[in-house]
């Protein structure tokens, strides 16, 4: 091939480090952003928190510095030293001692053996920086005790039960085979192998029955029928409808699961009201006895924006407590000298530039978030006033076109960002939904359709619940063209069971 030189014109987008940082901060949640800010404060000396009362503290420092410059601070030697430090860009720390404070000359060289430090010097309790107590500085997560698992709870009860060594080995094998829901999942052969050689099946069955008396009621059952029977057996004998409930669970549990109340009435030979009492007693039992020991941590949401109604208008504002305010440390910034190219001075300049970029990126993130939230509120004003049924269809492209931004930017802003409204706290993504055409040629939001479906199901006759086809027909009569499959999809998304499972006796 022959080599040649060609001149071409082209355009390409180069992402500067500042732009990359702004995009990365934009997609972070509030928790992740606070962690990023904490890391920046620890790594960059030029950054500091802008706390309340900081301006007053600066005025005091300025007044003291002016007093020292006027010669009011002390001897000429100390003034000369302070002037030398000022020329080098440093400020001497100021010490203010009260007359009651102990001085270095007052401390004896040696303390008596039988004398404690507190007997000579009065000192208050040492507090962390900021004057807060140690308990207030501890994170909330560290104050929570560890949750107890179901296996730990069963082993604790086993330690209080007098058993032989063989039965204890069998019990440990059985407890280890209990699932998180409280059911015994291992078979007899697996339990024999885990318990050791020479263990008979009768011994394992006896130990299983012993563990089934542990707390919570119904634990270590092998199926739902046995779980319910164990819980019924631990109820007081005077419980109303207890005998009928046992008979229903033992013989007709499948009919109850299929909601075949006609067959239940005929086989149980009970009146409708009495059968309903029996069913209510069974429904009060826990089909998953181990669920109360599930290690699920509560997730706390901090809203990024607040929406309030003032004088008939909706106002959107950022949450000032969600993201801490940062500023440049003036003391360290004053150490930078213009004509100095030393490594220390260059490092200070680099830290100052990074701090300015970081603060500017935080401001840009807040401004973008406020713009997007305001645009969403303007288009979903009907939802704020009337509820989910008034939700309008909205997609990312609508907000991006209104604000002159790219859809990817809108997606980053609305992901894991939350809005506090008078109707509750919602993720910004919640206000975006697909649309369904109406008979009048308009569009209906899928969120509004879900709200209508939930309202219809809540108002239905429990003895004759609405099927998906019936709900689709009702929506069609209201001018909303929705297929039966779409109704089923929306119903399943809201964790609503089908019509045959919603059927009730009364």
Q: For helices 165-176 and 188-195, give the axis angle rounded to 10 degrees.
A: 130
Residue 90 has what pLDDT? Answer: 36
Nearest to 368 by CA among 331, 399, 393, 324: 399
> Does the residue 412 lie in any domain?
yes
Phi then psi dihedrals of residue 74, to 5 deg:
160, -145
Residue 56 has what pLDDT? Answer: 42
Q: What is the DSSP string of 244-262?
A: HHHHHHHH-HHHHHTT-HH
Point out the domain boundary residue: 431, 449, 474: 431
Same domain, 155 and 289: yes
> Does the residue 111 lie in any domain?
no
- Beta-strand relationship, 305-310 and 435-437: unpaired
Low-confidence ranges of the chain (pLDDT < 70): 1, 13, 52-146, 295-298, 439-441, 506
Same domain, 209 and 224: yes
Residue 69 has what pLDDT? Answer: 45
- Sorted by sequence, the CB contacts under 8 Å of residue 435 that are 6+ apart come out as 393, 443, 444, 445, 446
Rounded alpha-carbon distances, angstroms, from residue 329 to 45, 326, 466? 8, 9, 66
> Does the residue 349 lie in any domain?
yes
> Does the residue 178 lie in any domain?
yes
> Does the residue 124 lie in any domain?
no
- Distance from C-alpha of 315 to C-alpha of 313, rounded to nearest angstrom: 6
CATH (domain of 450): 1.10.10.60
Same domain, 177 and 279: yes
Same domain, 284 and 311: no
> Does the residue 452 lie in any domain?
yes
- Distance from C-alpha of 316 to C-alpha of 314, rounded to nearest angstrom: 7
- Distance from C-alpha of 46 to C-alpha of 356, rounded to nearest angstrom: 9
Same domain, 176 and 248: yes
Point out the domain boundary residue: 376, 409, 431: 431
Residue 444 has what pLDDT? Answer: 84
Q: Fill in the DSSP letter of residue 94.
A: P
Same domain, 165 and 211: yes
Residue 52 has what pLDDT? Answer: 54
410 touches 401 (CB < 8 A): no
Rounded to a whole number of angstroms, the distance between the first and last alpha carbons of the chain is 89
Helix residue ranges per DSSP H, 44-179: 54-69, 76-87, 117-120, 134-137, 140-143, 150-159, 165-176
Same domain, 255 and 157: yes
Rounded alpha-carbon distances, angstroms, from residue 245 to 225, 266, 324, 459? 12, 15, 59, 29
Residue 104 has what pLDDT? Answer: 40
Share of the chain above pLDDT 90, in %: 53
Residue 295 has what pLDDT? Answer: 61
Point out the domain boundary residue: 293, 327, 360: 293
166-213 pLDDT tens trace: 999 999 999 999 999 999 998 888 988 888 777 888 999 999 999 999
Q: Fill in the DSSP letter of residue 450.
A: H
> Does the residue 53 lie in any domain?
no
291 touches 283 (CB < 8 A): no
Same domain, 440 and 421: no
- Our count of domains for the chain comes to 3
Same domain, 371 and 445: no
Range of the domain at 363: 305-431
* Residue 92, CA atoms < 13 Å, CB-side half-sphere: 18
Same domain, 413 and 450: no
Same domain, 425 and 441: no
- Sorted by sequence, the CB contacts under 8 Å of residue 251 that are 6+ apart come out as 267
> Does the residue 87 lie in any domain?
no
Same domain, 256 and 349: no
Residue 438 has what pLDDT? Answer: 74
- Distance from C-alpha of 216 to C-alpha of 227, rounded to nearest angstrom: 11
pTM of the model: 0.66
- Sorted by sequence, the CB contacts under 8 Å of residue 16 that are 6+ apart come out as none
């Amino acid at each position: 091939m022959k080599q040649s030189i060609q001149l071409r014109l082209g355009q390409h987008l180069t992402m500067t480090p500042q732009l990359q940082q702004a995009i990365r901060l934009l997609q972070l949640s509030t928790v992740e952003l606070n962690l990023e800010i904490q890391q920046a404060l620890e790594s960059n000396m030029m950054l500091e928190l802008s706390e309340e009362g900081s301006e007053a503290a600066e005025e005091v420092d300025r007044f003291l510095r002016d007093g020292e410059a006027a010669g009011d601070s002390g001897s000429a030697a100390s003034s000369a030293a302070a002037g030398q430090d000022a020329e080098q860009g440093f400020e001497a720390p100021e010490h203010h001692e009260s007359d009651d404070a102990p001085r270095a000359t007052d401390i004896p060289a040696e303390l008596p053996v039988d004398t404690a430090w507190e007997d000579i010097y009065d000192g208050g309790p040492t507090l962390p920086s900021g004057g807060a107590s140690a308990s207030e500085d501890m994170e909330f997560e560290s104050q929570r005790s560890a949750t107890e698992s179901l296996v730990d709870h069963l082993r604790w009860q086993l330690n209080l039960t007098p058993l032989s060594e063989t039965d204890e080995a069998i019990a440990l094998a059985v407890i280890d085979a209990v699932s998180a829901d409280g059911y015994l999942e291992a078979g007899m052969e697996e339990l024999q192998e885990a318990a050791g050689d020479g263990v008979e099946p009768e011994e394992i069955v006896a130990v299983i029955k012993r563990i089934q008396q542990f707390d919570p009621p119904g634990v270590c059952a092998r199926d739902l029928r046995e779980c319910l029977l164990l819980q019924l057996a631990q109820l007081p004998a005077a419980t109303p409808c207890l005998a009928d409930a046992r008979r229903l669970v033992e013989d007709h549990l499948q009919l109850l699961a299929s909601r075949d109340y006609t067959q239940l009435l005929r086989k149980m030979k009970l009146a409708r009201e009495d059968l309903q009492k029996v069913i209510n007693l069974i429904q009060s039992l826990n089909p998953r006895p181990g669920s109360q020991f599930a290690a699920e941590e509560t997730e706390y949401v901090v809203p990024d924006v607040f929406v309030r109604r003032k004088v008939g208008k909706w106002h959107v504002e950022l949450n000032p407590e969600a993201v801490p305010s940062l500023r440049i440390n003036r003391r360290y910034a004053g150490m930078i000298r213009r004509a100095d190219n030393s490594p220390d001075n260059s490092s200070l300049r680099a830290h100052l530039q990074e701090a300015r970029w970081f603060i500017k990126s935080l401001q840009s993130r807040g401004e973008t978030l406020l713009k997007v939230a305001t645009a969403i509120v303007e288009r979903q004003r009907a939802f704020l006033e009337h509820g989910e049924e008034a939700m309008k269809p909205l997609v990312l492209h609508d907000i991006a076109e209104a604000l002159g931004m790219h859809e990817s930017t809108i997606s980053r802003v609305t992901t894991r960002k939350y809005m506090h409204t008078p109707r509750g706290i919602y993720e910004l993504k919640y206000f975006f939904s697909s649309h369904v055409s109406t008979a009048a040629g308009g569009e209906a939001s899928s969120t509004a359709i879900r709200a209508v479906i939930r309202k219809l199901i809540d108002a239905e006759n429990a003895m004759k619940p609405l099927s998906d086809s019936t709900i689709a027909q009702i929506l069609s009569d209201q001018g909303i063209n929705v297929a039966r499959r779409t109704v089923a999809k929306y119903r399943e998304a809201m964790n609503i069971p089908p019509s045959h499972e919603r059927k009730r006796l009364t």
